Amino acid sequence: MKGAWWKVLAVVLMFYVLFAGMLIPLKSGIQAVSPQTVELGQPVELAVTGYNTHFDPARGPRVWLKLNADTLVGGSAYGLAAAAVVVDGPQTLRATFVLPEGLPDDAKDYYASVIVDNAADGTFVMPSVVALANGRADSGDDAAWTTRFDDFTAATGMTFPYRALLGESIRNQYFHVSLWFSLMLLMLAAAVYAGRYLRSGDLRHDYRSEALTRTGLLFGILGLVTGMVWANYTWGKPWSGDIKQNMTAIALLIYLAYFVLRASMASDQQARRVGAAYNLFAFAMLIPLLYIIPRMRESLHPGAGGNPGFGGEDLDSTMRMVFYPGIIGFTLVGLWLAQLWWRTQALANNPRVIAASDL
Amino acid sequence: MLQRYLTLVRLEWRLELRQGASLASVGLFVIGTVYLFSLAFGTLEPRLWNALFWLVLLFSATNASTRLFSRELTYRYNYYAQLASPLEVFAAKATFATVLLLGVGALNWAALALLFGNPIRDYGLFTLAIALGGVGLALVLSFVAVLTARARGGAALTSVLAFPLLIPLLLTLVKLGAVAARLIQQTSTTKDVLLLGGVDLLVIGLSILLVPTVWKEA
Amino acid sequence: MGSPTTKPKNGVREGAAVAKTKPMSTDLSLLLLQAPPDFFRSIGKIYVVVAVIAIVLIGFFVSLYLVERRISKLENQVNQDE
């Protein structure tokens, strides 16, 4: 088992990612609010459906509507506390609001966010979910809307963020997104070995390079397919022609062409040299392909075109604690798979090229 | 070294003139394609104009580079090529392909403008895009042509290998063309031009590094 | 909005009509509430994660199978040589 420490690490990390990624619960959140359009100047009852919530009449959940406006002086903001809250179950409640007749003059739009706070789950928000209709202008209701938002309950325990659109599928961050990062690392390693092969002519480097590219291609295909499954249930269809999806498909084409090129060379010697040169070239062209161009255009993916970025609030510190080990774990598993392949290839071509120390 | 390189470029040029038909065929391809489109479409909206421009350039580039790297060589050319290093031969051919492509770009622009009108408003930007794009297309295709020169499958393989590599380049070019035609408002034009220049430099650097190792006359 | 015909009447606030259009995310969540969720959308779309993990595992197993096939071929060669 000498020199196998990183394989042990791979197994440990994969188990950690699987368990932590699947078992840590999501934060409480609001799944839905209805009705979504309310008339100003009338009492209204909002039905709130929570996710992972434990509404309990005894612990008095509190509900607010909050307007989109700049925060007022003294910690107040434009908003309205519910006049009465009826708890129907751990996941459902009804909140009654007595709405003023008009909106404050400096409200930014006609939408209100719903905020729920209870002792068991902490505080959570569904932003801009309720539209306020038929308000009277110049009603002088600024004072009626001024509310203090304070003594919120902080949620305790390890949790992942809740997003209404993603739900539990936010966990795919560890199983789909880390696949991508390890793909890049594997392709980088393949390009490095391609360069070393060109410099030294050492066959072992070529076997490594080819095997790493093969594994990278596998990761790319898996990333694309898992991405399509995820997209189907969040963006509505598996293939939306998103620029990052297209670019990835093209990256896969580039690496498929690598194998076509190798297969079509007359001699093994030529296949190796030409293949290695193309591999280096392809990796260099992959960098603008995967990272620069998607950022320059509209994308459904986070981190581009006004999307909420996974780098921001969506990837909180708890998620990082699973995400980064996930990248390392997947990369090590990829290396392991690649190593099995290149050892087999080397053995098939010339049993003597492997010295025990290379394993 | 520069001397040998210049001689080789001159020889390429002379070779091209001697096989006069091949130079004419490039021009004919451009004009023929554009004319075919004018027959088929009648008028072309600027978006299509732009796309057609870069497509014609792409296919002319593919044509030119595969031809340059697999054509019959004269005795004199072989003599010089053997004196020169692989990199010098590659540089000469790539330079020639670039110059050819810039000519194709000008001809293409003229032909499209003649038949469909000229939607380009920012002449400087479009010329810059043609220059940077021409260098990028010619170099990538030349490099791939070197790789596939000894492979079974030849020209078809060149397209399979090169087209995915060229897509980011082409998308950037189409975008710059659209900006030059005032089809879209873009603030990141400088970034795009820098990206193109960066890709060009990257390809030049990689060619210098990799061509000597893969260029082995069989 | 802004044209004379949509000027506020009887003090009705301008933009009340606009408020009828809802942001997209709420549309989707409303849809979730009304339609009975299918299998993959049940329990907060957890089965999407399960599907993704399953696909990754299938990929790894296919990869292992390919290595094994190669090794079997090698074994046959060695056996024939002996």
Can you tell me the ipTM of this complex? 0.84
Whether pLDDT at B1 is above 80: no
Shortest Cα–Cα distance, C26 to chain A (Å): 6
Residue numbers in B near A266 (CB within 8 A): 150-152
Shortest Cα–Cα distance, A70 to chain B (Å): 29
Touching A (3+ Cβ pairs <8 A), the chains are: B, C
What kind and span of H or E run contains A38? strand A37-39
What kind and span of H or E run contains A79? strand A76-81
Q: Is A288 close to B167, i.e. CB distance below 8 A?
A: no
Residue numbers in B near A242 (CB within 8 A): none
Q: Mean pLDDT of all residues in chain B?
A: 83
Residue numbers in B near A284 (CB within 8 A): 202, 206
Q: Which residue in the set A131, A137, A215 is minimally distant from C11, CB to CB?
A: A137
- The span from the first CA to the last CA of chain C, in angstroms, equals 89
Chain A: residue whose CA lies nearest to B162: A254
Q: Packing angle between helix A268-287 and helix B154-180, nearest 10 degrees?
A: 10
Residue numbers in A near C26 (CB within 8 A): 32-33, 36, 126, 128-129
At B48-60, the pLDDT tens digits run 899 999 999 998 8
Mean pLDDT calculated for residue range C52-61: 94
Q: Is C52 close to A168, i.e. CB distance below 8 A?
A: no
Of A220, A179, A203, nearest to A342 (Cα)? A203
Q: Which residue in the set A32, A136, A179 is minimally distant from C29, CB to CB?
A: A32
Residue A298, pLDDT score: 53
CA distances from A124 to A78, A152, A187, B196, C4 (A): 17, 10, 41, 46, 41
Shortest Cα–Cα distance, C37 to chain A (Å): 11
Listed by number, the residues of chain B in 92-151 with a beta carbon closer than 8 Å to a beta carbon of chain A are 140, 143-144, 147-148, 150-151
Which letter does DSSP use for residue B119 in this model?
-
Maximum distance among all alpha carbons in chain C?
Answer: 101
Chain A: residue whose CA lies nearest to C52: A226
Q: Which residue in the set A198, A277, A284 is minimally distant from B147, CB to CB?
A: A277
Q: Is A31 close to C26, i.e. CB distance below 8 A?
A: no
Shortest Cα–Cα distance, C73 to chain A (Å): 9
Shortest Cα–Cα distance, C2 to chain A (Å): 15
Q: Is A36 close to C60, i.e. CB distance below 8 A?
A: no
Q: Does A213 touch chain C (CB under 8 A)?
A: no
The answer to whether the beta carbons of residues A137 and C13 sit under 8 Å apart is yes
| Residue-wise burial string across A48-66, b where 16 or more C-beta atoms lie within 10 A, e elsewhere | bbbbbbebbeeeebbbbbb
Whether pLDDT at C2 is above 60: no
Within 8 A by CB and 6+ apart from B81, the residues are: B8, B73, B89
| Phi/psi of residue B204, nearest 5 degrees | -60, -50
At B124-141, the pLDDT tens digits run 899 999 999 999 999 998
Q: Does A171 touch chain C (CB under 8 A)?
A: yes
Instruction: Give the mutation candidate from C27, C32, C45, C57 for the A interface (greatest A CB count, under 10 A).
Output: C45
Mean pLDDT calculated for residue range C51-79: 92
Read off the pTM.
0.81
Shortest Cα–Cα distance, B28 to chain A (Å): 31
**Residue linked to tokens 């739900």:** A167
CA distances from A250 to A236, A242, A304, B168 (A): 23, 12, 19, 9
Q: Is A278 close to B191, i.e. CB distance below 8 A?
A: no
The per-residue pLDDT string of chain A (359 residues; one tens digit each, 9 = 90 and over) reads 567 899 999 999 999 999 998 998 888 888 888 888 888 888 889 899 888 888 888 877 888 888 877 665 666 778 888 888 888 888 889 988 888 887 777 776 778 888 888 888 888 888 888 888 876 666 666 777 777 777 777 777 788 888 877 888 888 888 998 888 898 899 999 999 999 999 888 888 999 999 999 999 999 999 999 989 988 888 878 887 777 777 778 888 999 999 998 888 878 888 888 899 999 998 988 877 765 665 555 556 664 433 334 444 456 788 888 999 999 999 999 999 999 999 888 888 776 655 544 54
CB atoms within 10 A of CB B182: 12
- As a whole number of angstroms, the distance between CA B206 and CA B208 comes to 5
**Residue linked to tokens 């732009």:** B50
Q: Which residue in the set A257, A277, A293 is minimally distant from B171, CB to CB?
A: A293
Of B13, B66, B63, nearest to B33 (Cα)? B63
| Phi/psi of residue B205, nearest 5 degrees | -60, -45
Residue A291, pLDDT score: 59
User: Which alpha helices (DSSP H) does B42-122 contain, by range?
Assistant: 46-70, 75-83, 86-116
How many inter-chain contacts (A to B, CB under 8 Å) are there?
A: 79
Instruction: Give the mutation candidate from A293, A295, A299 for the B interface (greatest B CB count, under 10 A).
Output: A293
Residue A356, pLDDT score: 45
Residue A79, pLDDT score: 82
The answer to whether the beta carbons of residues A235 and A300 sit under 8 Å apart is yes
- The span from the first CA to the last CA of chain B, in angstroms, equals 24
Higher pLDDT, A72 or B116: B116
Q: Which residue in the set C20, C45, C71 is minimally distant from A131, CB to CB?
A: C20
Which letter does DSSP use for residue A115 in this model?
E
The answer to whether the beta carbons of residues A79 and A132 sit under 8 Å apart is no
- As a whole number of angstroms, the distance between CA B136 and CA B95 comes to 11
Q: Is C56 close to A222, i.e. CB distance below 8 A?
A: yes
Q: Is A296 close to B216, i.e. CB distance below 8 A?
A: no
Residue numbers in C near A167 (CB within 8 A): 44-46
Touch of C by B (3+ CB pairs closer than 8 Å): no
Q: Which band of pLDDT confidence, cut at 50, 70 and 90, is reported for residue B16?
A: confident
Shortest Cα–Cα distance, B211 to chain A (Å): 8
Q: Is A247 close to B168, i.e. CB distance below 8 A?
A: yes
Q: Does C9 touch chain A (CB under 8 A)?
A: no
Whether pLDDT at B152 is above 80: no
